[in-house]
Amino acid sequence: MILLLFCSDISMDKTTKHTPRKAVALVSGGLDSMLAVKVVQDQGVHVEGVNFFTGFCVEGHTHAIRKNDRARPKRNNALWVAEQLGIKLHILDVSEPYKDVVINPRHGYGANLNPCLDCKGFMVNKAYEWMQEHGFDFLITGEVIGQRPMSQRKDTMPVVSKESGAGDLLLRPLCAKLLPETRPEREGWIQREALLDFSGRNRKPQMALAAQYGFEDYAQPAGGCCFLTDANYSSKLADLWQARGEKTYEIDDIVMLKVGRHLRPKPHFKLIIAREEGETNFLKGYRKRYISLNTVSHSGPIALVDGEPDEDDLALAARLVARFSSGRDAQNVTVQVRLKDGASRIVDIAPLSAAEVEPSWYV
């Protein structure tokens, strides 16, 4: 009997108590999404974050590999931001469906191979699906009008709302006052007056708001949130597609583009040469998937061969690897060539001279 009374007490409380509205935030790990969450949280909304793994994310990976970067903090900024805000973060692996965004962007690429407008629409769509599956009410992003040349313009922001399917359930708290009213505002889930009117590339308003909230430490992404905005990375991806004769990739391919020097002496093969100890250790993990070369008589980097080299190609590859070793000025350098099945042989070769390394080989 006591138990029954106790239970009915709970159900009464549930029906009379105000249930907060729930918003899903796209959390990149940068300041803007951090502020957008805070603005909405301050209105009593329950917020949880989603963050997408595409394979091109800048976070963590290269910093974790390269020894030179070890002084930098190895934090995942999206997780760190979520922790600061006290929200749950759901990291969603979208790397497989994301391929179509990179390979066939309907709205084309930005300055490099960054399909920002398609990418934004895709991510908002995935967040919208997640929102529906998990019973949340609306979506928020940290977008600011005029901040990015492709996806954050007054004329392209409605494209993202429309093509993602989110429509007016997508709220951009940092610039909402400059945009038409959204459903969360109309329904009174959010007070429009408490939202903001930031625009343009000037970061001062964000920094002032961060100071107001007491956020002192936050990531300052330069250029974009993924490697596709990077000119060097994009040229390596374009080279990969050209060499294969088709625009395809697997996750290992795009991870490999972040590591080492890439030199393509012939159209049908390229070398990925470690630049330092951390990369050497990383590339060693791929010796069963690629032919690998390393110098034996002198200290030097490991190199992987991507493509289908013949014997002459492997001889050229060995001379090139020797060029990047401490034996570059020696008459002969001993190089171990290891095939994918583990069989290996030793060759004695003369390193290429500096003049023999064509600048056009550098991808």
The residue range among 11-19, 89-97, 225-233, 242-250 that interacts with ligand SF4, by the rule CB under 6 A, is 225-233
The residue range among 91-99, 109-117, 268-276, 347-355 that interacts with ligand SF4, by the rule CB under 6 A, is 109-117
Rounded least distance, CB 108 to ligand SF4, Å = 12
Q: How far apart are CA 243 and CA 353, in angstroms?
A: 26
CB 116 within 8 A of CB 225: no
Please say which residue, 102 or 305, places its beta carbon nearer to ligand SF4.
Answer: 102
Q: Write the burial class of residue 222 (CB in 10 Å: 0-12 exposed, 13-18 middle, 19+ buried).
A: exposed
> Is 31 a residue that touches ligand SF4 (CB under 6 A)?
no
Per DSSP, the chain holds a count of helices (H) and strands (E) of 13, 11
Closest Cα partner for 98 from 132, 57, 60? Answer: 57
CB 102 within 8 A of CB 228: yes
Q: How far apart are CA 119 and CA 108, in angstroms?
A: 10
The residue range among 220-228, 253-261, 274-282, 348-356 that interacts with ligand SF4, by the rule CB under 6 A, is 220-228
The residue range among 110-118, 128-136, 160-168, 234-242 that interacts with ligand SF4, by the rule CB under 6 A, is 110-118
> Is 151 a residue that touches ligand SF4 (CB under 6 A)?
yes
Rounded least distance, CB 168 to ligand SF4, Å = 21
The residue range among 59-67, 136-144, 223-231, 335-343 that interacts with ligand SF4, by the rule CB under 6 A, is 223-231
Please say which residue, 115 or 265, places its beta carbon nearer to ligand SF4.
Answer: 115
Could you give the residue ranges of the DSSP H alpha helices within 199-260? 204-213, 231-244, 251-256
> Is 33 a residue that touches ligand SF4 (CB under 6 A)?
no
Burial 64-86 (b: 16+ CB within 10 A, else e): ebbeeeeeeeeebbbbbbbebbe
Selected from 35, 89, 116, 124, the binder of ligand SF4 by CB under 6 A is: 116
The residue range among 113-121, 236-244, 248-256, 318-326 that interacts with ligand SF4, by the rule CB under 6 A, is 113-121
For ligand SF4, how many residues bind (rule: CB under 6 A)?
A: 11
Please say which residue, 141 or 294, places its beta carbon nearer to ligand SF4.
Answer: 141
Selected from 29, 49, 115, 260, the binder of ligand SF4 by CB under 6 A is: 115
Q: Angle at CA 300, nearest 5°, toward 295 and 304?
A: 70
What DSSP designation does 226 have? Answer: B
CB 305 within 8 A of CB 291: yes
Rounded least distance, CB 29 to ligand SF4, Å = 11
Q: How far apart are CA 200 and CA 182, in angstroms?
A: 21
> Is 21 a residue that touches ligand SF4 (CB under 6 A)?
no
Q: Angle at CA 253, nearest 5°, toward 333 and 260?
A: 40
Q: Can you read off the two tokens belonging to residue 305? A: 């061969």
Q: How far apart are CA 261 and CA 135, in angstroms?
A: 47
For the chain, the first-to-last Cα distance in angstroms comes to: 77
Selected from 228, 257, 304, 322, the binder of ligand SF4 by CB under 6 A is: 228
Rounded least distance, CB 222 to ligand SF4, Å = 11
> Is 45 a residue that touches ligand SF4 (CB under 6 A)?
no
Rounded least distance, CB 115 to ligand SF4, Å = 6
Upper half-sphere CA count for residue 233 (Cβ side, 13 Å): 22
> Is 225 a residue that touches ligand SF4 (CB under 6 A)?
yes
Rounded least distance, CB 109 to ligand SF4, Å = 9
> Is 226 a residue that touches ligand SF4 (CB under 6 A)?
yes
Selected from 33, 112, 114, 182, the binder of ligand SF4 by CB under 6 A is: 114
Applying CB under 6 A, the residues found at the interface with ligand SF4 are 114-116, 119-120, 151, 224-226, 228-229
